[in-house]
Structure 1
Amino acid sequence: MVLVALNLRPALSSLSPLLTRLQLDLQLSPAAVGALTTVPVLCLGLFAPLAPRLAHRLGIERALSFALLLLGGALLLRAQHLLPALFAGTILAGAAIGIGGTLLPGLVKREMPERADLLTGVYTMALCLGGALGAGLSVPLAGWLGGWVPAIAFWALPAFVGLLAWRLLMPHPWPQRIPGSRREKHPGLGRNALAWQVTLLMGSQSSMAYIVFGWLPVLLQQRGVSEADAGLMLGFSVMMQLGSALAAPWLGRLGRDQRPALLILLLLTAAGLVLALLGPQQWTWGAMVLLGFGQGGTFSLALTLLVLRSATPGIAGQLSGMAQGLGYCIAALGPFAVGLLLDWQIGLGGISALLLGILLIAALFAVLAGRRLQLQVDESSGEIVTRQQTACR
């Protein structure tokens, strides 16, 4: 699972440090650059609902193998000087990541139900490491390999290595179907307030994450930071997410619920963004530390809520599909909005106000979703209902 998770972020983080080169090389308009950062996030949401269907037909293990194969092919496709191939590969990469990321929480709940939150922290740490490597190595790889095209194509290699390891190390049984049985799917999730609170928390915090992945190097370059340093700063910030991603589930266990931990982490994210975009330039590296700690922990806890708020693996899979499907569609609005503001030549002050507004929305839903509640199946009606969580694991 760690090897799979390592491959679910470089496709997103490796492009932003090279956006200036792509824009000059392919003569992209600001709107096209904005679309390039928005499309993969939108695809995460649009293709997430496909994941449970694939898992039902192929099994979770084979569905993840398909996602890794699609990801590797997509990264090779977009590594060309052709604009249609660039966008097509970006769309397919977003689809592959949407499928893989949706399946992992249910797999965690199935394999380690008693320690699902801690294992979620481990694979979230792997996600952050993959994102850090993609951001920090993009510009050096372009220099070593002779351009942005081979630098982007390089990330297909770990995807295929991860696919090979997943096929060799993880059993791939076909799902056993009993005649007349249907895939476990309980009604009522779309009408449940707690499910929507988790979904909107996932969407708002993910919007911040993909704004940082897609636009932080560009925003830092507006402050006079070089292209190479801007990519290194993004990579350093994502690297800082490793520790907080692993520690966040443990931090969430200290109180009766996850609300205090979520609010502290969102406050760190806000402080890091304000310092990075508006503070003295000598504080920028320190701002990357705060930003990384805040975002890594928030993302880890948001993913942890998918298993903590679910009583069974089946509910976890349904909630994961809803939260990541709808959530990532909502999240795509963030990078698109930043692209519009840059196109309208809005300064860093206006962009910072937008980012703080998104964080306030995230804080509101963190207070609601972080309560000690759980989605369970009502025995009489068969619908998903919200009940008090009896044990905080």
Structure 2
Amino acid sequence: MKKQTEINNTEKAGWLLLIGIVLIGANLRVPITSVGTLMSFIREDLSISNAVAGLVTTLPLIAFAILSPFAPKIANRIGMQWTIAFSMILLIIGIAIRSVTGIGFLFTGTLLIGLAISIGNVLIPGIIKMNFPYRIGVMTGIYAVFMNIFGALGSGLSVPISSVGNMGWQGALGIWGLLAVVALLVWLPQLRKKQGAVSKKTIKTKEKTKLWRSPLAWSVTLFMGGQSLMFYTLIAWMPDILNTIGYDARSAGWMVFLMQAAIIPTTFVVPVIALKLKNQVGLAIGTALLFMIGFSGLLFGSMMLVPLWAIFLGIAGGSGFSLSMVFFTLRTKNGREAVELSGMAQSFGYMLAAVGPVFAGVLYDIGRGWTLPILFLLFISIIILIAGIISGKEGTISERAKKKWERISKY
């Protein structure tokens, strides 16, 4: 009887952890995606340029780049569970501040939101690997699906919500704070667990140095950064791109929703498939090609086919994100190393991604159109292709380093 009770308690704890991970994931995109379709209203209300408006999307990415390498260190000191709980509190505060009218409040709140999200971005892959070592593909898929479901809802519902009563763009952004409150409440039982913070000796300096010197780690970083640049640039500017070819704000918002809806099944299927393959090179190549087709369609294709281009870009984005998460786990030997690679890749990767929205806005202002920004994104697709081929090959960072050393030793 006692043994059965322990089994039931273990199963209950497992389900609570799963639901907690799902809700944390649900909060990791919607505070950012909800801004894109409201950008024209924010720009008009605050009288800011395209380049400055791009900072609303870029600031969180800068925050990701700054805090990501420190997230594992914070988790090692106070525990992963408490670190994630504090990140949700910070997210709630950031959403509340951003919802107050004024440029200062908009950017301050956005920065806090970015700092909060960066912690979840880094830690969740490691939590999955440590708690679900035999279900990495399925768990990564579930986590990514809910992240993108709510990301899509943020894009699709923001304009309709803003038109309800006196909500405006401020209320449409602020309402998502309720989701963060729910996630925090569901996560609270995790704080009763032993934190299991590792000592500094657990992650040797020598191992860290190998990580930062690894060509494979840098390839994963470039892949991560490239697909993130694509996603956040599209979230920021795709509504405006579609406005120039005849879509109104509401219709453009639903095209962004369609793109993110296409991401959803992809983010579940790709990790499951990736874990069954000997290597992920083919998936990486397919991701890059779909990006190229989608952007070429927006540049040269018919307005009638925009839903198709949106679906292609969504599938590519979902595949790119999922493969990044899979690379964090498949190219490392344990959960702690996965967190370290996640921190490295997301730090430098999001630094690269932060360039996207602002640079696209600058290119638009220079060229007075979206041709130059789309050509820039096609160039990034080539970088994703090369980095994906290298990252997709079989072997962990340490295994590849060992093989490289053995080849050098022969000479």
Give the TM-score range, shorter chain: over 0.9
Instruction: Say whether residues 1:148 and 2:166 are aligned partners.
Output: no
Give the paired residue count: 380
8 Å Cα contact 2:155-2:256 kept in structure 1: yes
Deviation at 1:68, TM superposition (A): 0.9
Distance 1:356 1:16 in 2: 21
Q: Percent identity?
A: 32
Instruction: Say whether residues 1:213 and 2:232 are aligned partners.
Output: no
The structure in which a higher percent of residues are helix is 2
Report Cα offsets for 1:246-271 as digits up to 9, x if no partner.
11123324542001011112212222
Deviation at 1:183, TM superposition (A): 5.0
SS at match of 1:173: coil
Q: 1:221 to 1:341 in 2, by over 3 A?
A: same
Instruction: Say whether residues 1:335 and 2:357 are aligned partners.
Output: yes
Equivalent in the alignment of 1:162: 183
Distance 1:93 1:183 in 2: 31
Instruction: Say whether residues 1:238 and 2:260 are aligned partners.
Output: yes
Equivalent in the alignment of 1:251: 273
Q: 1:148 to 1:13 in 2, by over 3 A?
A: same
Deviation at 1:171, TM superposition (A): 4.3
Equivalent in the alignment of 1:105: 125
Q: 1:145 to 1:323 in 2, by over 3 A?
A: farther
Q: Could you tell me which of 375, 382, 387 is aligned with 1:360?
A: 382
Distance 1:177 1:205 in 2: 31
Equivalent in the alignment of 1:23: 43
Equivalent in the alignment of 2:147: 127
Q: 1:353 to 1:112 in 2, by over 3 A?
A: same
Equivalent in the alignment of 2:86: 66
TM-score by length of 2: 0.88
Equivalent in the alignment of 1:265: 287
8 Å Cα contact 2:226-2:381 kept in structure 1: yes
1:303-322 → structure 2 map (5 Å cutoff): 303-322=325-344
Aligned CA RMSD, in angstroms, stands at 1.9
* Unmatched tracts of structure 2, length 5 or more: 1-20, 405-411
* Unmatched tracts of structure 1, length 5 or more: 378-383, 389-393
SS at match of 1:347: coil
Amino acid at match of 2:174: A
SS at match of 1:223: coil
1:380-391 → structure 2 map (5 Å cutoff): 385=401
Report Cα offsets for 1:175-200 as digits up to 9, x if no partner.
3577xx64524232111111111111
Instruction: Say whether residues 1:372 and 2:394 are aligned partners.
Output: yes
Distance 1:190 1:177 in 2: 20
Q: Could you tell me which of 191, 196, 203 is aligned with 1:184?
A: 203
Distance 1:70 1:64 in 2: 10
Q: 1:250 to 1:172 in 2, by over 3 A?
A: same
Q: 1:376 to 1:304 in 2, by over 3 A?
A: same
Q: 1:184 to 1:236 in 2, by over 3 A?
A: same
8 Å Cα contact 1:204-1:330 kept in structure 2: yes
Report Cα offsets for 1:188-246 as digits up to 9, x if no partner.
21111111111111111111111111111111112121001111111121011111111
SS at match of 2:397: strand
Larger Rg belongs to: 2
Distance 1:88 1:240 in 2: 32
Distance 2:211 2:99 in 1: 40
Distance 2:390 2:198 in 1: 38
Distance 1:330 1:161 in 2: 32
8 Å Cα contact 2:290-2:313 kept in structure 1: yes
8 Å Cα contact 1:375-1:387 kept in structure 2: no
Distance 2:346 2:88 in 1: 18
TM-score by length of 1: 0.92
SS at match of 1:373: coil
Q: Relative to structure 2, which stretch is displaced further, 101-110 or 169-178?
A: 169-178
Distance 1:333 1:192 in 2: 24
Distance 1:155 1:290 in 2: 28
Instruction: Say whether residues 1:36 and 2:82 are aligned partners.
Output: no
Deviation at 1:282, TM superposition (A): 0.8
Distance 1:170 1:270 in 2: 45
SS at match of 1:28: coil
Distance 2:300 2:368 in 1: 14
Distance 1:293 1:386 in 2: 35
